[in-house]
Structure 1
Amino acid sequence: MAQAYLHTLFGPRARALQEAAGSRASYARMEAGAETVDRITAKELAFIAARDSFYLASTSENGWPYVQHRGGATGFVRHLGGNCFGFADFRGNRQYLSVAHIAADDRVALFLMDYPNRRRLKIIGHAHVSKDPAVIAALMPSGYAAEPERGFLIDVVGFDWNCPQHITPRFTEAEVRRTSQPLIDEIAVLRAHIAQLERAAS
């Protein structure tokens, strides 16, 4: 149960609205006995390892929220033990918004999506940047030649899983190809067979 996640994000106004809506008692039971952090389990580890992108939210120094999409090869987000995750940060447009925001306020939120299976993992935590060569080396995707500028490390405070409602299934080109390839192969076999029959009949 994501108790720390709920304790951290449910403020007085949210609890008051839940009370008015009749949902407060249910959420209060879910919050009961919260630990300091929600402990990452094998279920979350497997889900994160299978992702090739996520959305990272940070807050600017003037209080405005900012959401950035991060992507890479499947598994580019690395587990570094315990509740710590990280990823290598490569040179981009040089706006450095996330880097600047985290330097001022290290609190971040992540959305990790599994569109085909309509699953969503939400994470909140503290982020910091590392330029330690050993840390960056541990975060580097295998076979990637680009030079990283830094490593992003995220210490997870809490997480929550969402229900599939309103998550529209989306599929990558590779996923569509895997699903359709048997049909493509079958069509090729049938066409070859028809061509053979036509040659025999001529």
Structure 2
Amino acid sequence: MTSYPSDVAFTSAVKAIQSEKGSRQSYAKVEQHGWKTIVTPDLKSFLSELDMFYLGTANSAGQPYIQYRGGPPGFLKAIDEKTLGFADFGGNQQYISVGNLSENSRAFIFLMDYVHSRRIKLWGNARVVEGDDVLEEKLRDSDYPGKIERVILFEIEAWDINCPQHIHKRFPQKAVAPVIDQLQKQVQELESTIADLESKLETLGQEDLRLRRKDQA
């Protein structure tokens, strides 16, 4: 039987349900074209813009865990054509992901671009690297204040671009802040204009009242 990179996700159980629900034929065509198994220029470009992603791990009993990982834009980097890596910054010291990887290397990375409604799913294996100053320096961003505690390397088994359906738009603060500042300035200008017009109307009203009283005298 022919095997495909997508088999990491499309297991026999998944394929059986696809057949039952009527989507197996279309996905059979998709898997023949092949999911990517190496870092491509498009994936590198996608990574360079992201300042967060979700890391999935599981313990030896199969209990899954999802963790949000954040850093400066592009902090998840391509080490080589099969490996991604990122600096793991100090956090709440629960060490759930680190503990899971110590007994089960299977891992999953979910990349989300909420601004452009894009997402990429990556399957593979991950490992924790501690005390490697050279690797830490390679992944360090001098402008980011987080303290590096370790490096996590992710070896890609397969990845795929997912459809944009049902992705709600979300915008980072740095993108929204200039727009909000501009709107606030416009509001202040309008409020100033309104206050000026109200003052002029009040002056005109007082003058009109004075003239009426003068005519009645």
Partners in 1 of 2:62 and 2:200 — Cα distance? 76
1:134 aligns with 2:140: no
Check conservation: 2:39, 2:80, Cα contact below 8 A. Answer: no
Partners in 2 of 1:7 and 1:45 — Cα distance? 24
The aligned residue for residue 26 of structure 2 is 26
Which runs of no fewer than 5 residues in structure 1 stay unpaired? Answer: none
Partners in 2 of 1:31 and 1:168 — Cα distance? 27
Partners in 2 of 1:174 and 1:146 — Cα distance? 18
Partners in 2 of 1:145 and 1:66 — Cα distance? 26
The aligned residue for residue 122 of structure 1 is 121
By how many angstroms is 1:154 displaced? 0.8
Higher share in helix: 2
The aligned residue for residue 169 of structure 2 is 169
Partners in 2 of 1:158 and 1:78 — Cα distance? 17
The aligned residue for residue 102 of structure 1 is 101
Classify the secondary structure of the residue corresponding to 2:28: helix
Q: 1:153 corresponds to which letter in structure 2?
A: L
By how many angstroms is 1:10 displaced? 0.8
Once the two structures are superposed, the pairs formed by residues 61-100 of structure 1 within 5 Å of their partners are 61-100=60-99
Partners in 2 of 1:85 and 1:135 — Cα distance? 12
Q: 2:149 corresponds to which letter in structure 1?
A: E
1:51 aligns with 2:35: no
Aligned length: 198
Classify the secondary structure of the residue corresponding to 1:32: helix
Partners in 1 of 2:70 and 2:147 — Cα distance? 16
Check conservation: 1:130, 1:136, Cα contact below 8 A. Answer: no
Partners in 2 of 1:117 and 1:49 — Cα distance? 14
By how many angstroms is 1:181 displaced? 3.9
Partners in 1 of 2:124 and 2:80 — Cα distance? 15
Which runs of no fewer than 5 residues in structure 2 stay unpaired? Answer: 204-217
By how many angstroms is 1:8 displaced? 1.3
Check conservation: 2:89, 2:149, Cα contact below 8 A. Answer: yes
Partners in 2 of 1:169 and 1:27 — Cα distance? 27
Partners in 1 of 2:120 and 2:63 — Cα distance? 23
The Cα offsets for residues 83-135 of structure 1, whole Å up to 9 and x where unpaired, read as: 21111112222221111111211111111111122111111111111121111
Farther-moved stretch of structure 1 (140-149 vs 90-99): 140-149
Classify the secondary structure of the residue corresponding to 1:154: strand
The aligned residue for residue 11 of structure 1 is 11
Partners in 1 of 2:144 and 2:174 — Cα distance? 20
CA RMSD, aligned part only? 2.4
Q: 1:8 corresponds to which letter in structure 2?
A: V
1:148 aligns with 2:148: yes
The aligned residue for residue 157 of structure 1 is 157
By how many angstroms is 1:152 displaced? 0.6
Check conservation: 1:60, 1:101, Cα contact below 8 A. Answer: yes
The Cα offsets for residues 10-59 of structure 1, whole Å up to 9 and x where unpaired, read as: 11111111112221111111112648x62222211111111111111100
Q: TM-score, normalised by structure 2?
A: 0.79
